[in-house]
Amino acid sequence: MAQADRVMAKTYLRQPVVITRGEGTTVWDADGKAYTDFVAGIAVCNLGHAHPRVVKALCDQAGRLFHVSNLYYTQPQTELATWLVDHSFADRVFFCNSGAEANEAAIKLARRYFHERAERRHRIVCAEKSFHGRTMATLSATGQDKIKTGFQPVLDGFDFVPFNDIAAMKRAVTGETCAVLLEPIQGEGGIRLPEPGYLQAVRELCDQAGILLIFDEIQTGIGRTGKLFAYEHYGVSPDIMSLAKALANGLPIGAMLAREAVAQAFGPGAHATTFGGTPVVTAAALETLRVLTEEGVIDKAAETGRYFMSRLRELKDRHASIVAVRGVGLMIGMEMNAPAAPLVAAGLDRGFLVNCIQETVLRFAPPLVVERAAIDRLVDCLDGLLAGEEDRAQ
Ligand code: PLP
């Protein structure tokens, strides 16, 4: 840890633990201590760690072919794109390597679409408290000042409105607007859900204005909310969608999906990336998606999520320090009335990985295969920690 702190860029505040191994929902540190993982690499390892089928797909492909670039066709990439097209609203897929890159592609495609139609529309309406990434375009699209501090001037062309405020969005859409970009459920902003009817109203607004709807499903996608994509909960589909995080269960991948008419705006040379959709990563992603659907993992996530939320609501009834419990599926936040970092540290001590967003929100994003017994152990641990805090406060 001391060596890492000397040589690594200081962009992360890390927990004082070296993780060396993982299996299912458990990881172990260098001293052999076990932790139950409620972070899952920040909503990434949806099948848990070292899933045997994903490991096998990865190793088989690694022994055959790592990489050839997108100058050639490869089978795993084509099969993955086909799977995604078959299971979503989209007709075409662009592969990249991260969430920010998937959003970059989405932003560029939206602008290019109107350029091809000779319409002067380039502005994108985004939500306050949103998070879309750390590259210059995606931090410009992010509705949190702290992400932009020190990097101004940010890219022009992004307008911000409060999430769930359709009237504000109507006012923000002008003749220069090309798209609305939203997370269907805000993740990093504190696990914030759309109010009933909001996403439908946004879709109608986009249709009336003739502009594109982009959903950032980087955190909500791939089963996290108990559906393959969160948009399925709301009966609203976008024109463009970005994916990353859980798509390959931990290998770096991003994807931008679009309807045919929109995707047409990206011809050869319009956009590219050397590693996008490389065979090893796409083989792992394809197997991840097959396991998720064949083994009923997504339905289980919906059911386990309901159980988890009910246990957390019981906890809220017992502890005044819990302000709110919010979530869908296994994307859950518990807002506290004070900074939650001490709970993260105390949880680590007791063998749980949890993390904290927006200072006061504990975020739970375990592997979707998490068992009820693990949830019970975490809730009991939190119960004890909160009772201890209350005793000390008296
Ligand atoms: N969009 C959302 C909704 C995210 O939650 C994240 C990451 O947390 C990103 C974009 C950025 O993804 P990445 O860190 O892979 O660039």
pLDDT digit string, tens, across residues 275-291: 999 999 999 999 999 99
pTM of the model: 0.98
pLDDT per residue as tens digits for the range 44-89: 999 999 999 999 999 999 999 999 999 999 999 999 999 999 999 9
Check residue 389 and give its pLDDT.
83
Residue 216 CB less than 6 A away from ligand 1: yes
Closest ligand 1 atom, residue 252 Cα: 15
Percent of the chain exceeding pLDDT 90 equals: 98
Say if ligand 1 is within 6 A of residue 187 CB: yes
Residue 39 CA, ligand 1 centroid: distance in Å: 14
Exposure string of 141-177, with b = 16+ CB inside 10 Å and e = fewer, is bbbbeebeeeeeeeeebbbbbebbebebbeebbeeeb
User: Which pLDDT score, from 0 to 100, does residue 257 have?
Assistant: 99
For ligand 1, pick from 104, 130, 219 the residue to mutate: most ligand atoms within 8 Å of CB: 219
Closest C-alpha among 308, 244, 230, 304 to residue 273: 244
Does 219 sit in the ligand 1 pocket, CB within 6 Å? yes
What was the pLDDT predicted at 394? 77
213 close to ligand 1 (CB < 6 Angstrom): no
Check whether 109 has a pLDDT greater than 90: yes
pLDDT at 13 over 80: yes
Q: How far apart are CA 114 and CA 177, in angstroms?
A: 10
pLDDT of residue 390: 81
What's the rounded mean pLDDT across residues 215-227? 98
Ligand 1: residue whose CA is nearest its atom 13: 99
Instruction: Among 218, 222, 240, 358, name the best residue to mutate to test ligand 1's pocket (greatest count of ligand atoms within 8 A of Cβ).
Output: 218
Question: Is 48's C-beta closer than 6 angstroms to any atom of ligand 1?
Answer: no
Minimum mean pLDDT among 100-104, 227-231, 389-393: which range?
389-393
In short, whether 181's Cβ falls inside 6 Å of ligand 1 is no
**139, 143, 144, 150 alpha-carbon torsion, rounded to 10°:** 40
Mean pLDDT, residues 18-42 taken together: 98
The burial of 394, by beta-carbon neighbours within 10 Å (0-12 exposed, 13-18 middle, 19 or more buried), is given as exposed
pLDDT at residue 393, as a whole number: 80
Average pLDDT, the chain: 97
- Check whether 190 has a pLDDT greater than 90: yes
- 98 and 252 Cβ atoms separated by less than 8 Å: yes
